Chains A and B, each alone.
Chain A
Amino acid sequence: MIVFDHLSKSYGHSDVLAVDQLDLTIPSGELFGFIGPNGAGKTTTIKMLTGILTPTSGDCFIDGISIRKNPMEAKRMIGYVPDGSDLFDRVTGIEYLRFIADMYDVSEADFRTRLDYYLDLFDLKDAAASQIRSYSKGMRQKTATIGALIHDPKVFILDEPMMGLDPKSSYLLKEEMKRQCSLGKTVFFSTHVLEVAEKLCTRIAIIRHGKLAAEGTLEELRNREKAESLEEIFLELTGEGEGENE
């Protein structure tokens, strides 16, 4: 379970809030989509949730554990795929994954079975022994994804995970997200691909200027906004009244 509690962030002593009093509860077993225009604050929210950024005010809780007060324990439950996937480049794929696994205390047996499973799944068996700096963008993205799943996290967090993936990998990743969800894990991801959000998510939140614009199941959003597709809802909620809070 993930809880955002009055979460706010302003970067570098500026008075502009990148995330503004975000309140949101995501129960376990949910596949939760987080959408919003560029610069809305999605990455910022995710970075605070994973403990990379310190909130200006408010807090996030993973299964009731505060990321601010108890970061180590909270981080242990998280698997995180960053956007852009900037990885250490002079290590091989295997070395990278073993390093990540070490940080989470994964036993050798577990590591082997999961590694086999995921390398097979994402078709990275051949590349795993060469250095990450020789990888393509999609290969890095997949390596980062495996790194996030290697310790079997309770909460799986992805920032624009489909970016750079080929259709097959993208399909496989979506299936994996569903599988994690069916195992009772919480999956939280941001995306710009509305079709994916529409098909995949059990719940969706739309964020704009760092504030929550809407939240609910697709059905609820449809009824509330009286629109058919998620695209219409998105444009409705984020498009009009551009100047209202400038």
Chain B
Amino acid sequence: MKALRRILSLQMRMRLRQLNPFDRTQNEKKSTGFRRLIGIIILLLMLAGMAIFLEFKILDALLVLKMEKLILGIIVFAAMLSTLFFGLFQCLSTFYFAKDTAQYAALPISGRTLYAARAIQVYLSECILSLLLILPASILLMIRTGFDILFLLRVILVALLAPVLPLSIGALLSALLASFSGLWRHRDAITMVGSIVLVMIQVVVNYSLGQVTGNLADDPELMLRFLTGRMDMIDMITGAFPPIRWAAHGLDGNWGELLLFCLVTLASAALVIWLCSRHYIEAALRAEEHPVTHHKGSLSKTAFRRHRPVVSLLSREMHEILRSPTYLVNEIMGTIFLPVIMTVGMGFGFASNFDGDLMAALDEILGANIGIAIPAAILTALVCFMAGMNSVASTSVSREGRHHGIYRNLPVRGSTCLWAKFLSGYIFSIIGIAIVTIVGMIALPKFCLIFALTALWSLLMCLIDCIIGIIIDVSRPRFHWNTEQEAMKQNFNQVLTMLIGMLIIGLLGFLTYGLFAWGMSEKGYIAVITLLLVILSAALGVWMHFKTSQRYACIDG
């Protein structure tokens, strides 16, 4: 127990210092600390603002329908699902790919203690998400419907416990994956394929959970039953996973279900920690053993071929990403998976809602006078909203980590390094967009033009996103990380890039509105937007090539 406390306090201290903007080595200026602090505050405000705005809107709509209690179900649902989603990678990388495991292994610490300490660490870092989702909505609800101290207590209890169950599932899955892949020689490949499969399963589960709610809108009879009050909406939304229902009912004042929720949650955590911490250190250290291949004289000819520096740098970046499960899965998720799922999902959505006369329905919706520009703009915004999470580009400098010195030492221009990094990220965007376009064109051949325009705009927009990501990462790189998950996912630079990307999309949205209101023709609008995007990407490209590369060449690791 004492050892657990000590490990925890050490981890906390390191984590807090990592987050503390004023924690610096002697050679950093004090003003950087202030700038960082301000940046972090703005970022947090923006994130919280977005969550609050969204929840506010939902609550408003629900109040009109006199179904405000429904928000409780929705937020618990959202908190648990998103924790499940991010938690899997968090667990995998914290438990099985941390770089400091060997340091702990030499000390007389039992695997169980170390596992428990790390589990608490994972929990604490995922807790923030749940608090951010659940607290604002509940407080808004209280403001609207009256203050109640017991309700507040229940909210805090649920917000704190909500991440536990999904994280237990994530921990269990990652333990299974780690021990399964440990049986094989090509461990990394299996881990990678395994985590992609798990993600796909999650997506399917999410999708089918989403369908449950979707059904309500489709089914007039259900709707009627619901409106006449013969059906509990919370049950409807959360029927698929009972703990969510218990939590939602518990929030609503059912102490029995609240107790049930707490007990099930805590029991699941205890069970998972007990199960997974057996032989934990051995399992975790397996990540440090690499298969030895003895190819005497059998090196392929390509191994000797000469390349230009930028090509070599690019292939090094790609190797790093392709050989690390954490990097690859994170990247594929954001840049390729989400946009594809979205378009495919939308396609199915249309198809199931208007069976048979799909085309007629779409024609009707789009109307003859809207043409291709608006749908393409909306689709672009959606694709880029997700593909903008290009974590490869926006963390490419931070990911150098301890090896930054090697790059600085190369007799290669900074701009060459940066373009290689840019390409390594942009390639993934291109793949994502290509899939979306091809799937779209095949599924809805009539709207080929829309998809073509979407592809063009998305390519430009993602290019901008990638360059911005690199510019930001160069200006505030974070070299001290311990797990690849930290290097990539827990990198504020990535979020910052995403937000700036969204801001640009938002501004373009306003511009669209303005231009059409002003009476511009469709062709003119397409030309203006395309031109704007081209100019912006060229300007950013020039900026990165000259300014940022200078800065890159003088970062102190």
- A residues at B contact (CB < 8 Å): 11-14, 16, 50-54, 71-73, 75-76, 78, 80, 82, 86-91, 95, 99-100, 102-104, 130-131, 133-134
Contact = CB atoms under 8 A, between A and B. Distances in A.
Contacts of A73: 108
Given A12-B289, A82-B103, A103-B6, 20 more contacts: A11-B290, A12-B185, A12-B291, A13-B184, A13-B185, A16-B292, A51-B105, A51-B106, A52-B102, A52-B106, A52-B285, A53-B289, A54-B282, A75-B107, A76-B108, A95-B13, A99-B10, A102-B2, A103-B3, A131-B17
A100 B107 contact: yes
Contacts of A90: 13-14, 17-18, 23, 480
Contacts of B285: 52-54
A11 B291 contact: yes
Given A75-B106, A88-B103, A134-B25, A12 B187 contact: yes
Judged by DSSP, the binding face of A is loop
B480 A13 contact: no
A46 B100 CA distance: 18
A95 B102 CA distance: 19
A87 B103 contact: yes
Contacts of B6: 99, 102-103
Nearest to A50: B106
Contacts of B291: 11-14
- In the A-B complex, list the 3 residue pairs whose CB atoms are closest, starting with the nearest: A75-B108, A12-B289, A90-B14
B25 A133 contact: yes
A106 B286 CA distance: 31
Contacts of B480: 89-90, 133
Nearest to B23: A90
A104 B108 CA distance: 7
Interface string B278-290: 0000100110011
Nearest to B109: A103
Contacts of B109: 103
Nearest to B15: A90
Given A134-B25, A134-B26, A91 B294 contact: no
Contact of A12 (B100, B110, B290): B290
Nearest to B282: A54
Contacts of A89: 14, 480
B187 A88 contact: no
A80 to B, nearest CB: 5
Interface centre among A12, A78, A86 (most CB of B within 10 A): A12
Contacts of A99: 6, 10
A104 B106 CA distance: 11
Contacts of A12: 185, 187, 286, 289-292
A95 B105 contact: no
11 contacts: A11-B289, A11-B291, A12-B290, A51-B106, A52-B102, A54-B282, A75-B108, A86-B102, A90-B14, A90-B480, A103-B108
Interface string B108-143: 111000000000000000000000000000000000
A176 B235 CA distance: 71
Nearest to B292: A14
Interface centre among B105, B106, B109 (most CB of A within 10 A): B106
Interface string B393-425: 000000000000000000000000000000000
Contacts of B110: 72
A75 B281 CA distance: 14
Contacts of A95: 10, 13
Given A82-B106, A103-B109, A88 B184 contact: no
Nearest to B18: A90
Contacts of A50: 106
A52 B3 CA distance: 18
A73 B292 CA distance: 33
Nearest to B105: A52
B323 to A, nearest CB: 14
Contact of B294 (A11, A16, A100, A104): A16
B280 to A, nearest CB: 12
